[in-house]
Structure 1
Amino acid sequence: MSVSMKSWATPIAASSFIILAVTGVLMFFKIEGGYIKPVHEWLSWLMVAGVALHTMANWKSFVAYFSKVPAVSIISIGVAVTALAVFMPASRDGGNPKAKMMKSIESARLETVAELAGKESGEIIATLEQKGISVENPSMTIRQIAKANQKKEMEVLGLVFR
């Protein structure tokens, strides 16, 4: 079984690595047009599967690495970097500035958000109401509008900035 698994597990791991390396480098340099981001995110699952199958197909070699100090050191550094990336806060000032901006917009009154969108609040209210989202008054926040209509804030904002 491992011989046939090796014949396709390694190519899956290698091809998915190429895809993720190229899309990841492009994203690093803020080149995110087309399908770069969704391909990177979704095909990462292919990489996970390919590496898991590759590891199973080469189990004896994989286990042998744990008897070598350099290999254990490199793997340990990888685990530590992963743990830091997952569990450490993004910054000392409370995190991602884009997330802070979105929370601010979601808690802003519709009339304020209308100014940001370069529209009149009445125009936005009409657009929202055409989509079945009622607005009692323009001083409601985006969050209040979304909650009152059982919608997500991003859905309401998508219509506002459309």
Structure 2
Amino acid sequence: MIRLSTRQWSTPAVIAAGVFMSVSGVLMFFGMHDPVTLAHEWIGLAFAVFVVFHITTHWRGFTSYFSRRAALGIIAVVALATASLIGLSATREGGSVKHQIFQTFERAPLTELSPLLDQSAESLATKLQAGGFKVASTAQSIQEIASRNGTQPPELMHALFE
């Protein structure tokens, strides 16, 4: 059995995950979300774990950066940019436009959604019922139907668009 020390695998793991995060982040920045987002999130979690192992393995080298002015300046700029971007996104009322559209869609009764989807409210209810969801009335919203079926609205959206 081959034994690998943390020193042997932590740096290559950080590099590989970092390259993937960079490429997938650029793809997401330019609008390619669907095929990339899930992998980006999971590899991002793995990346965080790899970084912790890498830092603990190279602790003395890591702490030496905090005695260098240039390194501290770079760390401060990145921390400030990160905090600013998080603060900006948190202060946006209601989230992104896309998020607001989906929330409006989820709150609207089937009777109001039907013209948007070019179907009758009854056919939307039938589609949801065929997907295994109980629909009491076409006056219910996607949110209400999801809640009464113990699921989330995106599950119902999938059923409507299949």
| TM-score, shorter chain, exceeding 0.5 | yes
- Equivalences, count: 159
Within-5 A mapping of 1:4-153: 4-32=5-33, 34=35, 36-90=36-90, 92-153=92-153
* Partner amino acid, structure 1, of 2:23: V
Offset from partner CA, 1:69-94 (integer Å, 9 cap, x none): 11112112222223233344456554
1:154 and 1:33 map into 2 onto residues whose CA distance is: 14
TM-score (normalizing by structure 1)? 0.84
1:8 is matched by which residue type in structure 2?
A: W
| Larger RCO (CA within 8 A; separation ≥ 6) | 1
CA-atom RMSD in angstroms: 2.2
Q: 1:155 to 1:31 in 2, by over 3 A?
A: closer
CA distance in 2, matches of 1:72, 1:11: 25
Q: Output the amino acid matched with 2:159.
A: L
**Where does the alignment leave 5 or more consecutive residues of structure 1 unmatched?**
none
Query: Quick check: 1:13–1:51 contact (8 Å CA) kept in 2?
Result: yes
Aligned to 1:160: 160
CA distance in 2 between counterparts of 1:74 and 1:144 reads: 49
Q: Which runs of 5+ in 2 are unaligned?
A: none
Moved over 4 A (4+): 90-93
TM-score, length basis structure 2: 0.84
Structure 1 position 103, deviation (Å):
0.9
Question: What percent identity do the matched residue pairs reach?
Answer: 28
| CA shift for structure 1 position 51 | 1.7
